[in-house]
A and B are shown apart, each in its own frame.
Chain A
Amino acid sequence: MIVLQQKDLTQILALIVPYQKILVVGCNGCATVCLAGGANETSLLAGTLRIAAIEQGRSLEVTDHTVLRQCEPEFLIDLVVKVGQAEAILALGCGAGIQTMAESWPNKHFLPAVDTMFIGSPMQTEGWQETCSACGNCTLDQTFAICVETRCAKGLRNGPCGGARDGMCEANPQIECVWLQVYAKARSMGQLDKLRRIIPIKDWSDSRHGGPRRLLREEKEIAESPE
């Protein structure tokens, strides 16, 4: 899941200064699941902006709407009327969602109200942690299904580095040393010998070095191609 974090309210208030008619758009996908941009947060933000406008004595028209997924143009049809009436759209979706919407309405201002943080999974306590960096070449099989590139502060492919203290990372004492976790898992599965061999260098050519990646599925076109 893509994990988002709402921007500070002062930042959002600064973003909307030039506009009088604002549409706040939430997303019922990842943004909802990570509690940053669902219907609840959308109506909270809209309500907050309305109160802020009353307090500041300025005229501000705020409407809000939550779509099923911002990143699919088909789900944006509900927004047509509301976007037409708004001067700017404050979007509570990931970067992909906001860009998809912006492409649908090229003449409108789209403002991000959330920061897209990472691809992650829920932790035991309330919160999420980054578990995948979308490198394009998954080698989880070599490290007992724990992504060391993402979760090791040094990105070590062969670890541990030896700097861990009490199981915590020396670069960031707030996070556990992921290589110790790999070791513990290997040990509990009785496969410590798997860690003896050197894991070869990874092919990073699939990652983000040649600009944005595209995925073309020749055998299965996702939509009917225009004639």
Chain B
Amino acid sequence: MSSQMQNRSGILFYSNEGKPGENSGFWDVMGAAECEFTVHPAVLVIGGGEAAAVAAKNLIRQQPVVLVNNGNVPDVPEAISYANYKVTAVNGQAGRFTVSLQGPVHRLTVYVGGIVVALETGKAVDPALGLPQNPWISGLFQVNNLSDQTWRGRSVAILLGRESSSFKNTIRALELALELREKHEAEVEIFFQHMQAAAPDFEYLHQCCRRAGVKFHRYIDEVKVHVNVLGVNIQITDPLLPEQDAYKLLADFLLAGEIDVPLPETSELNLMLKTCIGSNGFFKSEKLPWPSTVSNRIGIHFVGDCHDHQVDLQTEVMVVAAQLAHYADGSVLLPQLQAVVDPEKCALCLTCFRICRHKAVVIDTFSQSVQVDPLACWACGKCVAECPAQALDLPLFSRQHLAGQLQHPGRLVVYACANSAYLAAEEAGLTQEKYKNSLSILQVPCAGRIDYQYIIRALQCGASGVLILSCPEGKCQSGDGNLRAAARLQRMRHIMSAMNMDAKRLQSATVTANSVPRLLNVISRMLATLEPTGKEGERE
């Protein structure tokens, strides 16, 4: 018999109860009790472009869809569409979002289980090119009307920068060049650093351009553009020509590559959704699991051009549909892995509320306590480790659980993050029985779960050393779990120095899931420092 479960990223997976070891890498969730939650089956899709249309059309097959956009909405039969409506507030957690919408006349509230952000992007001329504002200079995609007589016989330069030589820009440039050359007999010259046209059809297009007489210039560092009364002067240094022989062109028009820029409402929406925005202004999705549509909050997904780490639209939409499918029935069955608050111990210091990256901690002003929303919690355990009152606990990584694991520890106790180092350790076979005298590799949901008790207990139970293996900096799915673990380890090292103990007994390292050699290196070096004479032969 198989039971349906949800892991932290919201992806459904199935596990056979007869074979508990099957989901290696995920925790053994068999011991956890299950609980059923009522959720709203509908999904809110925000956006008006192609991404929103594809997402809505796919999602409508499995659950109700509400389409909202500040402008037009795509025509999706059966979906409830609100054109010219603006999202003004988003409350609640995964499965139970309450979204307020403000329309031209009415204000309304929708109750949805998940939110899909499928905003379009705006286009702007690549700012890296440093082009002046001029009517003779425009973006590649701003040119619409090619039948105009203004183009006939003119000299047109097309300029692609480093950022703006993307696939879309290159294709657009080639298509425009061919049309201008063949239909309007314009002189077309394309300036590029590198072009991306790595497909048979596009290579054919490129050859057509060359045959039609479009000139291609590759430049190295920068391109100088200035405008005078005669037209647009373009000067480049050609890699094949001597440096003093810079190539100069006086063109009538300059068409420049464009880059995607986020829509102005992105930052506003980000504040309401409590998600993250990257330095480029786009939504920041979690890199893992790939293909990534997951935001830092469960139930909120990004598709299309509005987020980083994007793959093709169809794949993204399929992944989102799979992740939101479990809300479609109106109820979700979840194993109880999530953090639980003991209200009697809670001192309401709000530490958990402030550090939770997944915004799963809710302040309940009615009962004057904090609560962790089980549907929104990733069960990383960062809050459990940070709680000064020990009022939080993770059912599968509780203090009693730890005590049980540490009854007969090996010489070196390794706490390995389940997302990275533990996978590598399993691959390397270090979790096998035969190493248990020298190595105890214990899985933690995130390095951020490792509190002082983990370190102290291991030392008390007779381990000579403790090694914390976390994800590399900036790669923690829970934000800063790895950094917090490292900071705690640093404090423990100070404490050990104050007790005249060897602080080298505590160490931390960053390991990714696929870096088995590094893991072996780190562990063997640590074992060597613990006992200089070392039993190196125990491991391969």
State the A residues within 8 Å of B (CB): 8-10, 13, 28-29, 32-35, 38-41, 43-44, 47-48, 50-52, 54-56, 66
| Bound: A28/B495 CA distance, A | 23
Q: Is there an interface contact between A43 and B388, defined as CB atoms closer than 8 Å?
A: no
Cβ-based interface call for B80 (8 A): no
Which 5 A-B residue pairs are closest in the complex by CB-CB distance? A38-B388, A47-B456, A33-B349, A39-B390, A9-B498
Chain B residues near A40: list those with CB within 8 A.
Answer: 387-390, 451-452
* Contact sample, A vs B, 17 pairs, CB 8 Å cutoff: A9-B499, A10-B498, A29-B347, A33-B347, A33-B349, A38-B347, A40-B387, A40-B389, A40-B452, A41-B388, A47-B453, A47-B457, A48-B495, A51-B456, A51-B499, A51-B501, A56-B499
Chain A residues near B351: list those with CB within 8 A.
Answer: 35
Cβ-based interface call for B518 (8 A): no
| Bound: A41/B388 CA distance, A | 7
| Bound: A9/B493 CA distance, A | 12
Cβ-based interface call for B460 (8 A): yes
| Bound: A8/B501 CA distance, A | 16
Q: What's the nearest-Cβ distance from chain B to residue A18, in Å?
A: 18
Among residues of B, the one whose C-beta sits closest to the C-beta of A1 is B349
Q: What's the nearest-Cβ distance from chain B to residue A4, in Å?
A: 11
Interface of A is mostly: helix
Among residues of A, the one whose C-beta sits closest to the C-beta of B499 is A52
Interface residues of B in 410-461 (CB under 8 A from A): 451-453, 456-457, 459-460
Q: Mark B383-406, 1 if CB is under 8 A from A, else 0.
A: 000011111000000000000000
Chain A residues near B498: list those with CB within 8 A.
Answer: 8-10, 13
| Bound: A29/B347 CA distance, A | 7
Cβ-based interface call for B345 (8 A): yes
Interface residues of B in 458-500 (CB under 8 A from A): 459-460, 494-495, 498-500
| Partner among A10, A33, A47 whose Cβ is within 8 Å of the Cβ of B460 | A47
Q: Is there an interface contact between B499 and A13, defined as CB atoms closer than 8 Å?
A: yes
Q: What's the nearest-Cβ distance from chain A to residue B403, in Å?
A: 12
Q: Is there an interface contact between A32 and B460, defined as CB atoms closer than 8 Å?
A: no
Interface residues of B in 314-347 (CB under 8 A from A): 345, 347
Q: What's the nearest-Cβ distance from chain B to residue A69, in Å?
A: 10
Q: Is there an interface contact between A28 and B345, defined as CB atoms closer than 8 Å?
A: yes
Among residues of B, the one whose C-beta sits closest to the C-beta of A28 is B347
Chain A residues near B457: list those with CB within 8 A.
Answer: 47
Q: Is there an interface contact between A32 and B349, defined as CB atoms closer than 8 Å?
A: yes
Q: Is there an interface contact between B456 and A48, defined as CB atoms closer than 8 Å?
A: yes
Q: What's the nearest-Cβ distance from chain B to residue A39, in Å?
A: 4
Q: Is there an interface contact between A38 and B389, defined as CB atoms closer than 8 Å?
A: yes
Q: Which residue among A9, A13, A38 has the maximum number of chain B CB atoms within 10 Å of its CB?
A: A38
Chain B residues near A51: list those with CB within 8 A.
Answer: 456, 459-460, 499, 501
| Bound: A28/B460 CA distance, A | 26
| Bound: A56/B499 CA distance, A | 9
Interface residues of B in 174-195 (CB under 8 A from A): none
Among residues of B, the one whose C-beta sits closest to the C-beta of A38 is B388
Chain B residues near A44: list those with CB within 8 A.
Answer: 452-453, 456
Q: Is there an interface contact between A35 and B388, defined as CB atoms closer than 8 Å?
A: yes
Known contacts A35-B349, A39-B390; 20 additional CB pairs below 8 A are: A8-B498, A9-B494, A10-B498, A13-B498, A13-B499, A32-B349, A32-B389, A33-B348, A33-B388, A38-B387, A40-B387, A40-B388, A44-B456, A47-B453, A47-B457, A48-B456, A48-B495, A51-B456, A51-B460, A55-B500
Chain B residues near A52: list those with CB within 8 A.
Answer: 499
Chain B residues near A50: list those with CB within 8 A.
Answer: 456, 460
Q: Which residue among B388, B457, B459, B460 has the maximum number of chain A CB atoms within 10 Å of its CB?
A: B388
Interface residues of B in 499-518 (CB under 8 A from A): 499-501
| Bound: A28/B500 CA distance, A | 31
| Bound: A44/B460 CA distance, A | 12
Among residues of B, the one whose C-beta sits closest to the C-beta of A126 is B354
Given contacts A29-B347, A52-B499, contact A39 B456 (CB under 8 A): no
| Bound: A40/B455 CA distance, A | 13
| Bound: A32/B498 CA distance, A | 24
Q: Is there an interface contact between B388 and A39, defined as CB atoms closer than 8 Å?
A: yes
| Bound: A39/B349 CA distance, A | 13
Chain A residues near B499: list those with CB within 8 A.
Answer: 9, 13, 48, 51-52, 55-56
Q: Is there an interface contact between B389 and A28, defined as CB atoms closer than 8 Å?
A: yes
Chain B residues near A13: list those with CB within 8 A.
Answer: 498-499
Chain B residues near A54: list those with CB within 8 A.
Answer: 460
| Bound: A39/B345 CA distance, A | 9
Given contacts A28-B389, A33-B347, A50-B460, contact A43 B453 (CB under 8 A): yes
Chain B residues near A43: list those with CB within 8 A.
Answer: 390, 452-453
| Bound: A56/B498 CA distance, A | 12
| Bound: A52/B388 CA distance, A | 22
